[in-house]
Structure 1
Amino acid sequence: MGTAYKRIVIVGGGTAGWMTATAVKAALPASAVELVESDDIGIVGVGEATLPSIRDFHAQVGINEVEFLRATNATFKLGAEFRDWSGLGRRYFHTFGNYADVAGPACLWGQYRRVGDPALGELGDQCVPTVMSMQGRFARPPKEQADMFSYAYHFDASLYAGFLRTTALKRGVRRTEGRIVEVTRRADGGVDQLKLADGRTVSGDLFVDCSGFASLLLGRTLEEPWVDFSHWLPVDRAWAVPSAPSGAAITPYTRSTALEAGWAWRIPLTDRVGNGHVFSTRYIDEDRARKQLLEQLDGPALAEPRLLRFTTGHRERFWVHNVVALGLASGFLEPLESTSIMLIQRGLLKMVDLLKPGVPPAAPAVAAYNRGMTNVFARIRDFVVLHYCLTARRDSQLWRDMTAMDLPDTLAFRLHVWRQTGVLRQYGEEGFEPASWLAIHAGNGNWPEHLDPVFNEVPLDEARQALRQRRDQIAAMVAAMPLHEDYLRGILGK
């Protein structure tokens, strides 16, 4: 079985590094946890939007929500608004809510389509957080209705890393500042020591590579091959820039606006707005993409735009010998659905579960870890590609190519099943529930070719009344909620 991992060394700070340090120390308090980072190496720090799973992480490591909100200039997030994706001048929402039943005679979307009453409004009117988003309102879900909707956050990623760093250090994590200049290997191929620029060495039993795009251990030292997703996701650059608040209300959602050769994000914080333009250099040059980003800003830029270069995909394996890679060191998917931190969290929690027994996991368990993370990336890849392949836009070469490309087999099969049967097919290791897939299908007007005859078991007038009642109840519930800014002000005392 091997000896226990008594010394766990994390390479790199930032969100991935300090999330790892905090979680490992919470789960394995007897282990020595050391994080090595250099003040000379900046962090990417643009992943400011999250998914509801981050609240599970905070609960597991004992982070107080209000303290976190105050420390990171955070706001609440109910989901995302997609502008110009389904067509120029159109928008739809993907929020963290449900649409009641998605199968069987009472299937909400099925009865909505069957009734076909324009007076009912959009399908989104049947989803609590979508209505909240459209009205700019927010309140935490009541305990008795916790399954009706959820929420996440927008925050300053650099401040978040600092907040976690303070938390981890208080709990006994050791921080070593220094630049790594050499990595020595063990006889079995694993990592033995890190040599720092000042001559110090850091030894460990398990090394967690959180070194960002550099992938110092898994990529550069162990030379783990890269699985390239750029055939399906050709974006390879992002400009990022903060801007001053415009004075308009702070929206409780992220905005994604489709542009000529990619898309622009807008993420509202309490003190500024995070902006970026994710694009493909196959279709636009960097200078033009930068100009398009600056044209999207609501307020003056607070810094010079920063350019990030990347290739979508992941390392072939995520755990090799005694090295585990998390975050950008393991792979990258464009942040269209705010999955970067969720990917860190999924890999981290799987890793911690394998470390809890106190001995290194056996080879089959590591292989299962690698298969699981490969599937996690593939499922999210398919969900992101779904946004592109369903668009009705044909006004630039990117959109024409994205709607004509060969899809991953798993996504092609899901689309076939949906169009033929109305079933939202799910696999293992999913990143998003059926309601999320439904939101993207509905937002793009992609409906099954035939309605299931089982829907006819509900009388038409009864279905119409049920939809009206749900819509009206949601409208009344949301109307009683405070505006997002007022809610924030109330809990933060500002």
Structure 2
Amino acid sequence: MAPRFDRIVVLGGGSAGWMTATAIATGLRGRSSVEVVESEEIGIIGVGEATFPSIREYNRLVGIDEREFLRATNGTYKLGIQFCDWLARGRDYFHTFGHFGNLSGSQTLWGQHRRVGLTEPLGLQCVPTVMAMNGRFALPDEKDPQFKYAYHFDAVQYAAFLRKLAIERGARHTTGRIVDVVRRADGGVAALVLADGRRIEGDLFIDCSGFGSLLLGRTLDEPFVDFSHWLPVDSAWACPCERSGEALTPYTRATALEGGWAWRIPLQSRTGHGHVFSSRFIDAERAREQLLAQLDGPPVAEPRLLRFTTGHRRRFWVHNVVAVGLSSGFLEPLESTSIYLIQDGIGRLMTLLTGGRPLVDADREDFNEGVARRFARIRDFIVLHYCLTRRRDSALWRHVASMELPETLAFKLDAWRRHGMLHQADEEGFDATSWLAVLAGMDHWPERDDPVYAEVPYERAVRALQSRRHGIAAMVERLPAHHRTLQHVVG
């Protein structure tokens, strides 16, 4: 008989826990109870978050007004990520949430750009890249969007905002120290036992307990699939600082350093900084010094050290336990996918819970296989940023430039080098345009041009590229600065 999930228990607050609880309280509308159990032992990572455009869809589905969201979370707009010093020192590029257009047929603008020998960045043919480079931002026309956008926000404030919303919609909030997990006869979880003797029973448990993975990892002992062979970073220093006089940039910055990379995330009242690094290639104290050197204002807190292993649990739904967020796995935040992976897990779960039919074992299998493929696809995209580097000035960069790649990534790169084909598989986290942005930014191109590009006369191709570039530049020049748009929205 298919299981019933009348009582759903979410272990852990933070972004993962309260995003899950808000989605359940909103989507099930009282058909199942939802209770969030927060424990001081679990804690909240709580660094500033940079996100992926999908966050807007989550907010829309649970009925969050953008103005209220930005006010409550100290949020700003994000058009993409500026990558500094990844290809070589002094070489920058943007990965933005737009497209590069075409001249005739799909995906040919980049081919003509290469064919006519333009030395300017391909990004000048992309609206949000030019907006970001000039510090401009205006909301896109929803009827004919030229680009997508995401946000930067304070993760602790976002969790508090969602907690209020979830409780208003019927979620219960329980705090206490967990001292025991009671198992069922079939191996699943029956209840959480708190230090004061309370027993929190449930039919379905959502593990949002962070890196500790209290239920899926520690209780059910689900094995971990380690990605550190390809993604050797395992630590991060995080430190916010005061806002400086620098313009409120509508993008995240990721700067490659000796043993890793540093992030910069601009919020309304402060700037989030961090240094993700590999303890195998750099000492933690030296990494801390390098982080402090990146700050563009006085620190407002002491740097905090986080330790992690990149990878994921082999399965994500075992018995009646589903892991969402860090308890399911972690990929370094280079492409701002942490919230995206939370949302992806919630979306898959809600599809099953609201599907109107009993769940069977095959549903759990599909869930597990789909999430695993999603992790693998995003892993490949992150590894792409490392493996194409021309840097050889430190041990980390020599390692990533020579390491054996995942077969799925090696195949994609071979298809691109040989044929200029941006191969896409199922469960991709990033579309072909995103892959093109990184490949172009890392100056990695096919070995030969597609002969069809020559069907467009040379002079016509040059005129079309110049016309598009000038048109984009003129349009962006008329747009307001990012901080002006933000002031208008939040009041």
TM-score (norm 1): 0.97
Aligned counterpart for 2:457 among listed residues 453, 456, 459: 459
Give the match for residue 353 of structure 1. Answer: 351
Root mean square deviation, CA, Å? 1.2
TM-aligned CA deviation for residue 247 of structure 1 = 1.4
8 Å Cα contact 1:106/1:458 also seen in 2:
no
Q: Which moved more, 1:396-405 or 1:135-144?
A: 135-144
Structure 2 counterpart SS, 1:231: coil
Q: 1:172/1:92 Cα in 2 relative to 1: closer, same or farther (>3 Å)?
A: same
Q: Structure 2: how far apart are the matches of 1:264 and 1:99?
A: 28
Give the match for residue 487 of structure 1. Answer: 485
8 Å Cα contact 2:14/2:159 also seen in 1:
yes
Q: Structure 1: how far apart are the matches of 2:460 and 2:414?
A: 31
Q: Structure 2: how far apart are the matches of 1:83 and 1:384?
A: 15
Q: Gapped runs of 5+ residues in structure 2?
A: none
Q: Structure 1: how far apart are the matches of 2:104 and 2:416?
A: 12
Give the match for residue 219 of structure 1. Answer: 217
Give the match for residue 127 of structure 1. Answer: 126
8 Å Cα contact 1:3/1:359 also seen in 2:
no
Letter in 1 for 2:76: T
Give the match for residue 81 of structure 1. Answer: 82
8 Å Cα contact 1:11/1:35 also seen in 2:
yes
8 Å Cα contact 1:47/1:335 also seen in 2:
no
Give the match for residue 142 of structure 1. Answer: 141
Letter in 2 for 1:51: F
Q: 1:358/1:7 Cα in 2 relative to 1: closer, same or farther (>3 Å)?
A: farther
TM-aligned CA deviation for residue 359 of structure 1 = 5.8
Q: Structure 1: how far apart are the matches of 2:118 and 2:169?
A: 58
Q: Percent identity?
A: 63
TM-aligned CA deviation for residue 103 of structure 1 = 8.6
Q: Structure 1: how far apart are the matches of 2:355 and 2:382?
A: 36
Structure 2 counterpart SS, 1:48: strand
Give the match for residue 8 of structure 1. Answer: 8
Give the match for residue 373 of structure 2. Answer: 375
Q: 1:370/1:101 Cα in 2 relative to 1: closer, same or farther (>3 Å)?
A: farther
Task: Give deviations 1:247-293, integer Å, cap 9, x for gaps.
Answer: 11110000000000000000000010000000001111111110110
Q: Structure 2: how far apart are the matches of 1:185 and 1:125?
A: 58
8 Å Cα contact 2:18/2:159 also seen in 1:
yes
Task: Give deviations 1:56-104, integer Å, cap 9, x for gaps.
Answer: 0011110000000000000000000000101001110000000114994
Q: 1:11/1:360 Cα in 2 relative to 1: closer, same or farther (>3 Å)?
A: farther
Give the match for residue 90 of structure 1. Answer: 91
Task: Give deviations 1:397-447, integer Å, cap 9, x for gaps.
Answer: 100010000000000000000000001000100100111101111111100
> Where does 1:435-450 land on structure 2 (aligned, <5 Å)?
435-450=433-448
Q: 1:144/1:359 Cα in 2 relative to 1: closer, same or farther (>3 Å)?
A: closer
Give the match for residue 384 of structure 2. Answer: 386
Structure 1 counterpart SS, 2:287: helix
Give the match for residue 72 of structure 1. Answer: 73
Aligned counterpart for 1:244 among listed residues 242, 245, 248: 242
Structure 1 counterpart SS, 2:249: coil
Q: Structure 1: how far apart are the matches of 2:318 and 2:160?
A: 29
Structure 2 counterpart SS, 1:351: helix
Q: 1:169/1:184 Cα in 2 relative to 1: closer, same or farther (>3 Å)?
A: same
> Where does 1:272-291 land on structure 2 (aligned, <5 Å)?
272-291=270-289
> Where does 1:94-243 land on structure 2 (aligned, <5 Å)?
94-101=95-102, 104=105, 107-118=108-119, 121-146=120-145, 148-243=146-241
Structure 2 residue 303 is matched with structure 1 residue 305:
yes
Structure 2 counterpart SS, 1:275: strand
Letter in 1 for 2:91: R
TM-aligned CA deviation for residue 3 of structure 1 = 3.9
TM-aligned CA deviation for residue 39 of structure 1 = 4.3
Letter in 2 for 1:404: S
Give the match for residue 37 of structure 1. Answer: 38
Structure 2 residue 28 is matched with structure 1 residue 28:
yes
8 Å Cα contact 1:4/1:358 also seen in 2:
no
Q: Structure 2: how far apart are the matches of 1:114 and 1:104?
A: 16
The count of aligned residue pairs is 490
Q: Which moved more, 1:32-41 or 1:404-413?
A: 32-41
Q: Structure 1: how far apart are the matches of 2:488 and 2:355?
A: 44
Give the match for residue 323 of structure 1. Answer: 321
Structure 2 counterpart SS, 1:343: helix
8 Å Cα contact 2:79/2:132 also seen in 1:
yes
Task: Give deviations 1:99-141, integer Å, cap 9, x for gaps.
Answer: 11499477100011111134xx321100000000000000011
Q: Gapped runs of 5+ residues in structure 1?
A: none
Q: Structure 2: how far apart are the matches of 1:192 and 1:238?
A: 36
Q: 1:144/1:28 Cα in 2 relative to 1: closer, same or farther (>3 Å)?
A: closer
Task: Give deviations 1:192-247, integer Å, cap 9, x for gaps.
Answer: 01000100000000000000001000000000000000000010000000001111
Q: Structure 1: how far apart are the matches of 2:357 and 2:327?
A: 25
Q: 1:106/1:198 Cα in 2 relative to 1: closer, same or farther (>3 Å)?
A: closer
Q: Which moved more, 1:181-190 or 1:1-10?
A: 1-10
TM-aligned CA deviation for residue 340 of structure 1 = 0.2
> Where does 1:364-443 land on structure 2 (aligned, <5 Å)?
364-443=362-441
8 Å Cα contact 1:418/1:448 also seen in 2:
yes
Letter in 2 for 1:305: P
TM-aligned CA deviation for residue 4 of structure 1 = 2.0
Structure 2 counterpart SS, 1:293: helix
Letter in 2 for 1:153: Y
Structure 2 counterpart SS, 1:36: strand
Q: 1:106/1:23 Cα in 2 relative to 1: closer, same or farther (>3 Å)?
A: closer
Give the match for residue 17 of structure 2. Answer: 17
Q: Structure 1: how far apart are the matches of 2:102 and 2:377?
A: 23
Give the match for residue 478 of structure 1. Answer: 476
Q: Structure 1: how far apart are the matches of 2:118 and 2:447?
A: 19
TM-score (norm 2): 0.98
Give the match for residue 60 of structure 2. Answer: 59
Structure 2 counterpart SS, 1:267: strand
Task: Give deviations 1:155-198, integer Å, cap 9, x for gaps.
Answer: 00000000000110111101111111100110100000100010
Q: 1:103/1:50 Cα in 2 relative to 1: closer, same or farther (>3 Å)?
A: farther
Q: Runs ≥4 in structure 1, deviation > 4 angstroms? A: 102-106
Q: Structure 2: how far apart are the matches of 1:105 and 1:81?
A: 26
Structure 2 counterpart SS, 1:169: helix
Structure 2 counterpart SS, 1:420: helix
Structure 1 counterpart SS, 2:49: coil
Structure 2 counterpart SS, 1:234: coil
TM-aligned CA deviation for residue 25 of structure 1 = 1.2
Task: Give deviations 1:353-409, integer Å, cap 9, x for gaps.
Answer: 111135652111110110000000000000000000011111001000100000000
Q: Structure 1: how far apart are the matches of 2:247 and 2:106?
A: 41
8 Å Cα contact 2:124/2:469 also seen in 1:
yes
